[in-house]
Amino acid sequence: MGPQQHEPNDEELYEHHRFVASKGQDPLRVDKFLMNFIENATRNKIQQAAKDGHIWVNDTIVKQNYKVKAGDEVKVLFEHPPHELLLTPEDIPLQIVYEDETLLVVNKPAGMVVHPGHGNYSGTLINALLFHIKDLPINDNERPGLVHRIDKDTSGLLVVAKTEAAMTHLAKQFFDKTSEREYIALVWGNVEDDEGTVEGHIGRNPKNRLQMQVFPEGDEGKDAVTHYSVLERLGYVTLVSCKLESGRTHQIRVHMKYIGHTLFNDERYGGDRILKGTTFTKYKQFVDNAFKILPRQALHAKTLGFVHPITGKHMRFDSELPEDMAACIAKWQDYAKHSKQL
């Protein structure tokens, strides 16, 4: 018998993911295809979903060895509900930098996911905020209070709206590119120009949905602009300040890689390998130790500025580099100083 025809309308299942294979998709097993597209998904979990009959291609149940082709619509269902049904308040400490009746600014630690999603159904910033504030407004993506976000392994400042009016006002500032956002990043290589601007549309990598990429022709993705300036050159790495005009997913990580300066220890974009330097064993040990000190991409949302939705006053917040990033930078500073003395 061939694969069973079935409409995914079982009330006990929840559709978590739906993908349409791009025009350039070469035939690829559906389990491998989904490994590229679903963050934090394990091969076992995907294969179990296939065994349970919970993977559909073009509304037909398929086995794990089905070859996905260009144009195929792939759906994955699980027995637990998706993140929008799991917005549970949790008593998690928050580092609140500022708060009034309209908004609050938090300093998010690295490792904390901003909102629930696949593989992260608890312990997120949203779970913590819902415990701290009873009624948060919901944005268009059903994410309470969020005006913008930063990646799980990026630390730094976020503004959260406490009212519908504040959310609308703040969202417009981000859309109009009038908000101020400065990030500090440690990148591979010597950034030659003291300052510069990276422009290039950013969209999903069609072959790996977990990555974003630059589309220089502007034929795909959304416009993105990053202004950078060199803070300190440390030999094989450079400390830079990045200011955003737009706020695309992984924008700084993608733009800096695009100009040849991948973020230090950015695993998703290849920065967790030794990209610059010597072949000496001692250097390899040094870099490995630096990776251990900073087990994430070297990126911190340092400064945040915006106009208060009620008072009209310009507000600007600044934050210190977290210990792991500061320690990693100090290690490179010592290395650069020692290298100059040789």
Label residue 59 left, alpha or beta by phi (over 0 means left) and psi (-120 to 50 means alpha). Answer: left
Q: Read off the tokens for 326.
A: 């500061």
Contacts (Cβ under 8 Å, ≥6 apart) of 177? 245, 246
Q: Read off the tokens for 156.
A: 């730094």
* Secondary-structure percent of the chain, ordered helix, strand, coil, rounded to 5: 25, 30, 45
CA 327 to chain centre: 23
Q: What is the DSSP code string of 176-217?
A: TT-SEEEEEEEEES---SSEEEEE-EEEEETTEEEEEEEETT
Q: Read off the tokens for 67.
A: 């070859």
Q: Read off the tokens for 49.
A: 């979903």
φ, ψ dihedrals at 267, nearest 5°? -60, -40
C-alpha distance from residue 300 to each of 73, 183, 295, 326 (Å):
37, 5, 13, 10
Q: Read off the tokens for 159.
A: 């503004």
- Within 13 A of 19's CA, how many CA atoms are on the CB side? 25
CA 73 to chain centre: 25
Catalytic residues: 151
φ, ψ dihedrals at 228, nearest 5°? -125, 155
Calculate ∠ Cα 195-200-203, nearest 5°: 135
